């Protein structure tokens, strides 16, 4: 799954730690999501979308399996 969490964080001018605190996860979780090593739960994706005032689809994109 592709994501642009890092871009959205930069636009919002917040650190990984600040984002983590706002949505109730560890900074390591944010780092893993940004690196594509961890796919967030639906609830976590929705929290991020709400925080960034974007749709989940604006932040996360399924990669084609073709």
**Every domain of the chain and the residues it spans:** 2-57
Tell me the pLDDT band of 44, cut-offs 50, 70 and 90: very high
DSSP state at residue 42: H
29 vs 35: CA distance, rounded Å: 10
The count of other CB atoms within 10 Å of the CB of residue 59 is: 20
For residues 19-24, average pLDDT: 98
Whole-number average pLDDT of the chain: 95
Please give the CATH superfamily to which domain 2-57 belongs: lambda repressor-like DNA-binding domains (1.10.260.40)
Helices 5-12 & 27-34, crossing angle to 10 degrees?
120
Q: What is the DSSP letter of 25?
A: S
């Amino acid at each position: 799954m592709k994501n642009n969490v890092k871009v959205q964080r930069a636009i919002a001018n917040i650190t990984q730690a600040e984002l983590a605190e706002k949505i109730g996860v560890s900074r390591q979780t944010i780092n893993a999501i940004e690196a594509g090593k961890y796919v967030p739960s639906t609830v976590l994706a929705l929290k991020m979308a709400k925080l960034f005032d974007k749709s989940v689809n604006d932040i996360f994109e399924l990669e084609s399996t073709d």
